[in-house]
Chains A and B, each alone.
Chain A
């Protein structure tokens, strides 16, 4: 790789920063279209049953209404086309409260909203399955083979023999993604083809599922999504709203805009499921783990299965000869759960790392020392060597930077005024992978100025994908960043993986980097010269008087990556203040130390990590959605009830990266940081709360009432 510019690894400002703060970045609803009509979804008010009648007379007569679409007049769609969560208006059945049951299209958004209020729906109600507490004992084996029981040794017998043990159940509630930009789509038909402006984490995935659902060929659907206002997994797989916008546009023969309201976001685009996780840990007297069982009970939808893999961290974090990872699941009348930042790892690490803290207390060992004592040499789940694993450095350097030595291990002893102060630590991990992606580079010369366009159907969740690709191309081509145009977020561009599962940076940047190398190689061949020092693509364009030159690279993960276990790892440190009267908690300091391979841009990387930390703090202290078991609706239905952290909840945040040079997972040594930032956070906070107060709260969120 050419490193003439040396921009990779530099804290470069976002190339789209100005566009964003001046409001010029075009999100889905910002696309203008002539004659736009506005669609509003209406939703079921039962959780299970069938619609016996929908009276839309008043709605149809209401001012401005262009169409009312229900299962009675909706076109037949392919329900197996790959969209998540059903709700495609294909029949009268209702599977969950808040399922879309129709669309009103009108001249204005206000008219459509008003008209939707006039609809009268009659149902035949069936008994709903909604009370998780009651249903959990009947949970059964998952259908998915990848979540079958995983045994190593005999976890039960070894637990019996363990000198010191804990067996506890940890609960996490339903959480929502709630990206700043609610899911929204503008659909514009051009003959038999449709353009969908829609925030999509996987551009080609959105294209494929929309096309299949609409019974079209992929090339008839174009997804345009240059900017995404966050997604956190909810814009990974696409939901009914994407295709229903296209349906509405077809039916009124006009472009249609459909944006979910914040309230509709609660039951339209998946959620993080509720989990009960039983952790059994056994250790020898001197603190060697000999048994680890992580048994998760959870729910899924009636008409589909998704289970977040809560046991994933428990598979790899600690050395133990005996382990059991299992899942039991019960279908409920609730929207399909889905990938939610750090799926399984964020919630699973809360259980595992709380239990590790509990056991450290029982053993009377410092929780950091306890973790250090149980580090595995190889991946315990498959025996593969680590590509790299910097947990020990994360813990040691983090402890130093955080001032861990100031922690008083005895709860309740560190007090200032009416506040008890506590320190907590917890670790986390997330897999590192590269997925197939292609990139095209187009070079143009004008005199001595060479400019480049990078094309790839990548997506930018707001994390800085655009910027790191510009940095990569600048270094790879020897062209300064301002002369590079990055084109992403369009299914007409070369196909790419998605911004999901922390594969984005590794997949996109390696594709661009490969294309840079390839174009330089091709220019060298074309020059038919030999150089002592390999010239850059830019220098070759100039020296050889080439006016334009293109190439495409199709990048894949290295073959040998398979033989290793590759993950990002972290250690999280939290300091909390807990008011003795009110039980209110403030996270005054939080430090995440991460070993995640090559950090392409420390500035955008830090933002991602602290963003994950903030959600983790919300998960620990305030975020929870509650279902009313009588109806199956969410009793928490707005940001007034569903409490995401505010600025005032967040104290000083720090992100440190451990240097890691690991070219095994991919050529550029990128491991990905999108998910790992939330993993281990809730446990670090909960452990700090215990250290402050002596109260072990095993059910998130830790609201003031739980500390009384």
Chain B
């Protein structure tokens, strides 16, 4: 690990100022991603600003204004607390399911909600400093494109990068149209829709998201929704726990009897950001909640996939997983697979 300066503060503005004046500084939250990357010499900050003492950990209902009925989750709260909070379990169980499908209990106890949004890809070439990687070292090439790309993207990739964004939590946030509130220098607040937060790689795979250096994630806002009773998170992985998704699907169904009023579907493990399955969503609107309709919509969505050499299976698996998640959600949030 390279030597670095370590600073901590209890004050959000101070933290932002400290970061802002040093382009090579990073915030340190739970450290479960950043420290690993520093040990591997992938991330090389020369200053860490510890933000774990900032008073940004609470979870509260929004009682007034246009977002009344929603919930505000502190950016520095722990994943475990977000997953298990009664407000979340009751009204936003999709988030609980997605968070608990990720990592391990120990890691979720350390990991923060902001850090989770900011976690970097698990592409193994990104981690190996001896390998070309445009994300780690722009212009060096993409090793995964012609390499071992079984875990990689089938949607929205570019010739520069085919990595996927690994978070489970964010897939649920995407299906729930969450907003990410960030604080800038001088205390301004900016709100970014989750589906605009992460980006596709395009020509700048080094940029995972639209957060600017010097901005601090203060909270995540969940707008009220009507699918708490019919939501599901299905994660397919190479072992039953503690592995990143091959494909995952977060879904919520708003049902009127057996009719689908609206379907909310986001996928993980398939793109550089949570992938909103809008083609499937559009097809399902107004249709009956039947297995046949679920399958049709799922296949329509996946027919647009552009798989790589080693991940062709994700097309069929994606369709199966969307179908399975919709079926599960239609049976009710507490149904078991």
List chain B residues, Cβ under 8 A from A579. 324, 337
Contact present for A113 and B1 (CB under 8 Å) = yes
Contact present for A110 and B317 (CB under 8 Å) = no
Which residues of B, 103-161, contact A by the 8 Å Cβ criterion? Answer: 122, 124-125, 127-128, 130-131, 143, 146-148, 150
Q: Given the interface contacts A113-B1, A630-B146, A635-B147, does A703 sit within 8 Å of B238 by beta carbon?
A: yes
Q: Given the interface contacts A114-B2, A708-B313, does A621 sit within 8 Å of B124 by beta carbon?
A: no
Contact present for B1 and A633 (CB under 8 Å) = no
Contact present for A45 and B130 (CB under 8 Å) = yes
Candidates A635, A640, A647; contact of B244 at CB < 8 Å: A640
Cα A648 to Cα B100 with chains together (Å)? 13
List chain A residues, Cβ under 8 A from B131. 631, 633
List chain A residues, Cβ under 8 A from B316. 708
The distance from the CB of A390 to the nearest CB of chain B, in whole angstroms, is 33
The distance from the CB of B39 to the nearest CB of chain A, in whole angstroms, is 8
Asked if B180 is at the interface (CB within 8 A of a chain A CB), the reply is: no
Total number of A residues with any Cβ neighbor in B under 8 Å: 39
The distance from the CB of B245 to the nearest CB of chain A, in whole angstroms, is 11
Closest to A418 in B: B337
The distance from the CB of B299 to the nearest CB of chain A, in whole angstroms, is 13
Asked if B14 is at the interface (CB within 8 A of a chain A CB), the reply is: no
Contact present for B122 and A581 (CB under 8 Å) = no
Which residues of A, 669-708, contact B by the 8 Å Cβ criterion? Answer: 701, 703-705, 708
Q: Given the interface contacts A635-B148, A636-B124, does A648 sit within 8 Å of B240 by beta carbon?
A: yes
Asked if B241 is at the interface (CB within 8 A of a chain A CB), the reply is: yes
Contact present for B130 and A640 (CB under 8 Å) = no
Closest to B244 in A: A640
Asked if A382 is at the interface (CB within 8 A of a chain B CB), the reply is: no
Contact present for A704 and B241 (CB under 8 Å) = no
The distance from the CB of B188 to the nearest CB of chain A, in whole angstroms, is 37
Asked if B6 is at the interface (CB within 8 A of a chain A CB), the reply is: no
The distance from the CB of B183 to the nearest CB of chain A, in whole angstroms, is 32
Asked if B309 is at the interface (CB within 8 A of a chain A CB), the reply is: no
A-B interface pairs (CB < 8 A), number: 96
Asked if B234 is at the interface (CB within 8 A of a chain A CB), the reply is: yes
Asked if A117 is at the interface (CB within 8 A of a chain B CB), the reply is: yes
Q: Given the interface contacts A635-B124, A636-B124, A638-B127, does A581 sit within 8 Å of B147 by beta carbon?
A: no
List chain A residues, Cβ under 8 A from B246. 704-705
Contact present for A646 and B148 (CB under 8 Å) = no
Cα A640 to Cα B321 with chains together (Å)? 22
Contact present for A581 and B127 (CB under 8 Å) = no
Total number of B residues with any Cβ neighbor in A under 8 Å: 38
Name which of A16-24, A347-355, A511-519, A582-590 contacts chain B.
Answer: A582-590
Asked if B329 is at the interface (CB within 8 A of a chain A CB), the reply is: no
Q: Given the interface contacts A582-B234, A635-B147, does A708 sit within 8 Å of B317 by beta carbon?
A: yes
Contact present for B3 and A586 (CB under 8 Å) = no
Which residues of A, 256-304, contact B by the 8 Å Cβ criterion? Answer: 263
Asked if A377 is at the interface (CB within 8 A of a chain B CB), the reply is: no
Contact present for B146 and A621 (CB under 8 Å) = no
Q: Given the interface contacts A581-B324, A582-B321, does A647 sit within 8 Å of B124 by beta carbon?
A: no
Contact present for B244 and A649 (CB under 8 Å) = no
Contact present for B124 and A641 (CB under 8 Å) = yes
A-side interface mostly: loop
Closest to B149 in A: A635
Contact present for A643 and B317 (CB under 8 Å) = no
Q: Given the interface contacts A635-B125, A637-B128, A708-B317, does A621 sit within 8 Å of B337 by beta carbon?
A: no
Asked if B61 is at the interface (CB within 8 A of a chain A CB), the reply is: no
List chain A residues, Cβ under 8 A from B122. 640-641
Closest to A627 in B: B148
Contact present for B313 and A705 (CB under 8 Å) = yes
Cα A192 to Cα B163 with chains together (Å)? 54
Closest to B322 in A: A581
Contact present for B147 and A630 (CB under 8 Å) = yes
Contact present for A63 and B240 (CB under 8 Å) = no
The distance from the CB of B236 to the nearest CB of chain A, in whole angstroms, is 4
The distance from the CB of B25 to the nearest CB of chain A, in whole angstroms, is 18
List chain B residues, Cβ under 8 A from A584. 236-237, 240
Closest to B313 in A: A705
Cα A635 to Cα B246 with chains together (Å)? 16
Contact present for A645 and B239 (CB under 8 Å) = yes
The distance from the CB of A36 to the nearest CB of chain B, in whole angstroms, is 19
List chain B residues, Cβ under 8 A from A704. 236-238, 246, 317
Asked if A191 is at the interface (CB within 8 A of a chain B CB), the reply is: no
List chain A residues, Cβ under 8 A from B150. 705
Cα A582 to Cα B248 with chains together (Å)? 10
Contact present for B337 and A646 (CB under 8 Å) = no
The distance from the CB of B331 to the nearest CB of chain A, in whole angstroms, is 10
Asked if B167 is at the interface (CB within 8 A of a chain A CB), the reply is: no
List chain B residues, Cβ under 8 A from A54. none
The distance from the CB of B163 to the nearest CB of chain A, in whole angstroms, is 13
Cα A636 to Cα B147 with chains together (Å)? 12
The distance from the CB of A125 to the nearest CB of chain B, in whole angstroms, is 13
Bitwise interface map of A from 616 to 628 toward B, beta carbon under 8 Å scored 1, else 0: 0000011000101
Closest to A98 in B: B130
The distance from the CB of B109 to the nearest CB of chain A, in whole angstroms, is 17
Contact present for B239 and A646 (CB under 8 Å) = yes
Cα A583 to Cα B247 with chains together (Å)? 12
Candidates A117, A637, A646; contact of B2 at CB < 8 Å: A117
List chain B residues, Cβ under 8 A from A63. 3
Closest to A624 in B: B238
Closest to B130 in A: A45
Closest to A109 in B: B1
List chain A residues, Cβ under 8 A from B1. 110, 113-114
Closest to A630 in B: B147
Asked if A417 is at the interface (CB within 8 A of a chain B CB), the reply is: yes
List chain B residues, Cβ under 8 A from A581. 234, 320-321, 323-324, 337
List chain A residues, Cβ under 8 A from B313. 705, 708
Cα A56 to Cα B124 with chains together (Å)? 27
Cα A646 to Cα B103 with chains together (Å)? 12
Contact present for A622 and B239 (CB under 8 Å) = yes
Asked if B243 is at the interface (CB within 8 A of a chain A CB), the reply is: yes
Contact present for A582 and B320 (CB under 8 Å) = yes
List chain B residues, Cβ under 8 A from A649. 239-241
Cα A669 to Cα B3 with chains together (Å)? 59
List chain B residues, Cβ under 8 A from A622. 238-239
Q: Considering the complex of A and B, which 7 residue pairs feature the smallest CB-CB distances, nearest first?
A: A581-B324, A648-B241, A705-B313, A635-B148, A45-B130, A582-B236, A648-B240
> Other than the known A646-B239, A704-B238, what 16 A-B pairs have Cβ atoms closer than 8 Å?
A579-B324, A582-B236, A628-B147, A628-B148, A635-B148, A637-B124, A638-B124, A638-B127, A640-B243, A643-B243, A646-B242, A647-B241, A648-B241, A649-B240, A649-B241, A708-B320
30 examples of A-B residue contacts, CB within 8 angstroms: A63-B3, A114-B2, A114-B3, A117-B41, A263-B40, A418-B337, A581-B320, A581-B324, A582-B234, A582-B320, A582-B324, A583-B317, A621-B239, A622-B239, A635-B124, A635-B125, A636-B124, A637-B124, A637-B127, A638-B127, A641-B122, A641-B124, A643-B239, A645-B239, A646-B239, A646-B241, A647-B241, A701-B238, A703-B238, A704-B317
